Structures are given as structure tokens and as C-alpha cells.
Amino acid sequence: MKTMPIIFSLLFVLLLGACSSGPVLPNSTGLAYEVVVTMTEPLWQGEVGEAVKADLASQVPGLPQAENSLRITYASPQNFNGLLTYVRNLMILRVDETAYTQVSLNMERNRWSRGQLILTLNALTKEEAVSYLEANPKILVNQFVKEEMARAVSQFEKTYSMVVYEGVKNKFGAELKVPDNMTYFRDTADFFWASNNAGTSRMDVVVYSFPYRDENTFTKEYLVNKRDSIMKLYMPGSFPNSYMTTETRYVQPLYAPITLKGKYCGVLRGLWRMQGDMMGGPFVSHARLDEVNNRVVVVEGFVYAPETDKRNIIRRIEAALYTLRLPGEEELPNEVVIIP
């Protein structure tokens, strides 16, 4: 796990910081979904390090190929100084039976740089550290992923596609802020589609609505069937009789409820494919109840990026889903919820 790319970017940050006056923290650096981990080398090489790696490198759900949730860079305590302390995501683990009375996981922001998140796990013994991580699966990775999602949401609040914002506002009376390069769109009936139309790393977003009937609306079966019927109608493929559908032959989509802005949200993720074509990729959707209009509003992002990693692309468009504000929610703050 190499540290040189991080060091070069950090040198640039330090040069910028030298030009300013006062005790101003430099901006954090490092890549999205990258974390620097520091602990003693014996811990890293042993069962403690394996437990940390199993947590941080757990696989991203709903992708066609296995991809780790985070890219991990290890630094020993002797090498963890200066430049590396400015990285945006840091994980520190200490084992010392004379310094601690119980195991604890602490979260701190902006210690050495702005926009930084530090998780520190303190334990009396190696066994206690491992037991804590086993009893709290994905407790580390979920916090870092949530932080990265929140960073993206914050960015979308400042810079976003006006094409999508105005289209969704006019059609659904809702607000949605997506990457500003998503300027290609189609507006049809109760369906809105937009894309960055990229040759590689293509991102698309769709928004549609349908009347709310009863609580059975928010089930995986109902939402998958609704998705397939709508996509067949509005997302045709390049060939005659080809259309988008949900992949259920080899892998089943995942469904989980979360609470957003105090209300129920059904999160559906899985793989899409073009019936009658060779295209496919991951998707994720949020289905929410618009109480003002007694309807369900679905906002979905999907990705087409053959032969490339898709983790950062799908997570970027997934973060945009959290910017959805239904009628009556204009003043409510955004929030990010990561499914355990």
C-alpha cells in the first residue's frame, strides 16, 4: 500500500498554507474513499490488523464485481507525522492496558486539517480490540462512507445541475441536486431522465411518481415490479424491443428501509440490464412518500461503466439522492443514512 501519491498532494497543500497568515488549518487531502490507518506494525501484521482490514475493506453491496469499500494505506506510528496527518480519513488504533480502562471508539473532526475525520479505537488488549470489531461489524467503514457521502451532498448544495433542478422542480414540485455535468435530459409524462452522457463512467438519474395506495407499496416486490414497468416504457435500448429491466436471474436486488427527514424511505439497490442488449450496471433508488400529494416519488441513479471500477461512481450518484426535498421539506437539512 503506497503513500507516495498522498505525499505529493499533501506537499501542494502545505505550500498553499504557507502563503496564508494566522492559525488556519489547511484543507484536508487524499482521495475520496481512501483511509490512512496507523497502529504499531505487530498489531497491523496480526489479528488486530486483519480485523481492521476486514471492516474497512468490506465489499460494496450491489455491484457486478467485488470492490472494496475503502482503499487502505498503512502507516506505522513512526512514519505517521507531518504530511500524512492532513489526510481526510484517518484511523488510529492504540492498545495499552496501562492507559485505558475500557475499549472505546472516538470520532474527531478537523484536528490537523479542515474537512478531516479521525476515528480512534483505544483498547486494553489485542483481544479486546478484535472482540469489539467483531461485535460491531462495519462500524468503521460505515462511518467513513457516511462522511464521504455527506461531503458529496455538501458539494451538491453549492454546485449542481440547474437542468435537473429546474426539471424536477417544475414536474414534481421537488428539489434534487445532482452533479453539474448532468445536462442531457428527457421530460415525459410523470418521468424525468438526465445523464452526463459520458463515454465512460456514465451516470444517469431518473425521477418518477405514482399514486400511494397502502403500506404494501413499500416492499421490494412492489417497487421492483413498478420499476420494471416504468423502465420498460421510458428507457428503451438501442435495438428494437430492447428496454431496461432489473437483474433478478443471477442476483436479487437488496431492499432496506431508512428514515430521512423523519419519514420512511425505501432503499433499493441492485443491477440493471438491457433486455435484448448487452448493457448493464448497478443502480440505487430512494422511494419516498410525498404526503402533500399522496404519491410515491422515486429517485434513482444508475451507472454504466464497463471494464472499470464502479464504487466511486455509484456512490457519487447515490449521494445526490440524499438531496431530494419533497414538497414541504424545503427548509429541512439534508442527512445521510448508511444501512448497517
- Say whether both 244 and 298 belong to one domain: yes
* 19, three cell numbers: 502563503
Number of domain units in the chain? 2
The Cα 153–Cα 137 span in angstroms is 25
- Assess whether 170 and 44 both reside in one domain: no
- 295 Cβ neighbours under 8 A, 6+ residues apart: 209, 210, 211, 212, 289
| Residue 116 and residue 177 in one domain | no
Tally Cβ neighbours within 10 Å of residue 90.
Answer: 26
CATH of the domain at 304: 3.40.1000.10
28 φ, ψ (degrees, to nearest 5) = -70, 160
Q: Indicate whether 131 and 278 sit together in one domain.
A: no
Q: Are residues 108 and 198 in the same domain?
A: no
Q: What is the pLDDT of residues 219-244, one digit of tens each?
A: 999 999 999 999 999 999 889 899 99
Backbone angles phi, psi at 175, to 5 degrees: -115, 135
Question: Are 21 and 147 in the same domain?
Answer: yes
- The domain in which residue 231 lies consists of 159-321
pLDDT digits (tens, 9 = 90+) for 280-333: 999 999 999 999 999 999 999 999 999 899 999 999 999 999 999 999 999 999
Q: Are residues 13 and 148 in the same domain?
A: yes
Q: Are residues 227 and 142 in the same domain?
A: no
Domain match, 224 and 134 both = no
17-48 pLDDT, tens digit per residue, is 444 445 689 999 999 999 999 999 999 999 99
* CA separation for the pair 236, 226 (Å, rounded): 16
Same domain membership, residue 270 and residue 232:
yes
